[in-house]
Amino acid sequence: MTEHESKDQIAQRRAKLAALRKAGVAYPNDFKRDALALPLHSRFGGKSSSELEAEPVHVKVAGRMMTCRIMGKSAFAHIQDMSGQIQLYLKQDQLPNGRFANFKHWDLGDIVGAEGRLFKTKTGELSVMVREIRLLTKALRPFPEKFHGLTDQETRYRQRYLDLVMNEETRERFRVRHALIVFLRRFLTEQDFVEVETPMMHPIPGGAAARPFITYHNKLDMQLFLRIAPELYLKRLVVGGMEKIFEINRSFRNEGLSTRHNPEFTMLELYQAYADYHDLMDLTEEMLRSLVKEVLGSTTLSYQGEQVDLSERFARMTVKESILKFNPTLAASDLESLDRARAAAKRLEIPLEDHWGLGKIQLEIFEQTVEAHIKEPTFITAFPTEVSPLARRSERDGFVADRFECFVFGRELVNGFSELNDPDDQADRFRQQLKEREAGDESAMEFDEDYICALEYGMPPAAGEGIGIDRLVMVLTDSPSIRDVLLFPQMRSKDSV
């Protein structure tokens, strides 16, 4: 459709709206729907025409008109509601006087309400034999042509409402997202976890290594930071005696955009007292397996042409083991000293910062050469303590932390660890983070005195984890970009494109 054609259609639709306003029937709000398309198909789709005639079913349906075919004194139309589509059949002599003539001037995209009885057409399609129909909302802009749909990716992201109207795949993706969140809430509640809410505006950014968004509170005359993670507030609650808690939270990080990153995103964080990271790996494996089975009906996951089976026990290996597995040219000794690790990274053409220690270099090698190759569900453990400022050191090897990340299809879905509850050790870690900030790392954490104070009152041994909800939805819906699973992803302004 050309811009000129679009303007003409808008003008015609506005003229129709003006007539409705003049008649006093524009935008009514007194139609009460009593049935949805999908439940009607599920309940009555299997009945024959004679069965529907023997026991008439009268319904009131409403939705957006997606197709319309007028044939003289009769017409077929499909309307779409929140559950799906159902066909309407209209005959001039079975409608109130003048109603059919009015209907012929309605447009695709208009929202209508119809009353009538269910019947089967000659082709066997469950339909509504309409006895009354009303125009509830006049659509002033033409929708994309039905058979071409809405295919421009940027338009789908910027005008998600059009995408939802035109593409069943998009509607299904967000139904899966809803089902996923409902399951996680129920699963954790049944495990005696309590859902809580923590602040979204923090006086000090903390809980993760990331650059924050900055805002300002006028009345309090103070700078605040949008939450980059709820972790430190949730662990304050563990100090307070809330021993099994979770929060499904919106977090914000002032960093780049990619197929896996959006400035605001959704996480599930959970904490359990008197548990360690081994307990949470077991819990996570059970939760993910049960989630996929309930939401998708199978433990087999398909993503971008690859398949994995979550019914098998998840693999487990350390960071060092995984580096050696996927880099056969390296030896264990290449990862055991700063000089040799730097030399190994150079051979792998991985750029490094001068101030990075051995642990950070190991992590960089892992992220650059290993992550993308972990296709099967796998727990990677024993991350260097240097890059795990909130995790408990391993009692067997203080160089690494009691931490895990869960990967599938080359994507990190979960990050968890045994919590650091030693206030002196945590204070030292914060001080080290400050040194890294001074060295130029803008994402390093700041010193949170109140959190240290909370730990000094005593936090029981505990473990916690964060799950990236958006990335999990990507995997369950075979979506290549995080923008596909966010209703309103962040986009550049049109002026800057």
Tell me which of 3.40.718.10, 3.40.50.1400, 3.30.930.10, 3.40.50.720 is the CATH number of domain 166-327+370-491: 3.30.930.10
Q: Can you give the pLDDT at residue 448?
A: 92
Is the CB of residue 269 less than 8 Å from the CB of residue 291? Answer: no
In angstroms, the Cα distances linking 489 to 1, 149, 258 are 27, 21, 11
* Residue from 233, 262, 304 nearest 488 by CA: 262
Q: Can you give the pLDDT at residue 1?
A: 60
Each residue's pLDDT, cut to its tens digit, for the chain (497 residues) gives 677 678 999 999 999 999 999 999 999 999 999 999 999 999 999 999 999 999 999 999 999 999 999 999 999 999 999 999 999 999 999 999 999 999 999 999 999 999 999 999 999 999 999 999 999 999 999 988 754 556 788 889 999 999 999 999 999 999 999 999 999 999 999 999 999 999 999 999 888 888 999 999 999 999 999 999 999 999 999 999 999 999 999 999 998 888 888 999 999 999 999 999 999 999 999 999 999 999 999 999 999 999 999 999 999 999 999 999 999 999 999 999 999 999 999 999 999 999 899 999 999 999 999 999 999 999 999 999 999 999 999 999 999 999 999 999 999 999 999 999 999 999 999 998 888 888 878 778 889 999 999 999 999 999 999 999 999 999 999 999 999 999 999 988 876 55
Determine the Cα–Cα distance for residues 436 and 84; give it in Å rounded to an integer.
54
Helix axes 277-296, 168-190, angle to 10 degrees: 140
What is the b/e burial string over 343-377, where b = at least 16 CB atoms within 10 angstroms of the residue's CB? ebbeebeeeeeeebebbbbbbbbbeebbbeebeeb
Determine the Cα–Cα distance for residues 230 and 205; give it in Å rounded to an integer.
10
**In the chain, ranges of CATH 2.40.50.140 domains:** 3-143
The strand pair at 85-91 and 74-80 is best described as antiparallel
Is the CB of residue 206 less than 8 Å from the CB of residue 449? Answer: no
pTM over 0.85: yes
Task: Provide long-range contacts, Cβ within 8 A and 24+ apart, for 324-327.
Answer: 325/370, 326/369, 326/370, 326/373, 327/365, 327/369, 327/370
Q: Can you give the pLDDT at residue 207?
A: 83
Structure tokens at 183: 């399951």
* Residue from 64, 33, 77, 63 nearest 141 by CA: 64
The set of residues, in sequence order, having a beta carbon less than 8 Å from that of 5 and lying 6+ positions away, is none
**In the chain, ranges of CATH 3.30.930.10 domains:** 166-327+370-491
What is the arrangement of strands in the sheet containing 411-418, beginning at the earlier edge strand? 194-195, 244-252, 264-273, 462-468, 411-418, 403-408, 378-381, 315-318
Degrees to nearest 5, angle at CA 19 with 99 and 136:
55
The set of residues, in sequence order, having a beta carbon less than 8 Å from that of 182 and lying 6+ positions away, is none
Q: Can you give the pLDDT at residue 143?
A: 86
What SS3 class is residue 82?
A: coil
Determine the Cα–Cα distance for residues 377 and 162; give it in Å rounded to an integer.
36
Structure tokens at 11: 């003008």
- What class, spelled out in words, does domain 3-143 have in CATH? mainly beta
Q: Can you give the pLDDT at residue 147?
A: 47
- For the chain, the helix, strand and coil percentages under 3-state DSSP, each to the nearest 5: 40, 25, 35
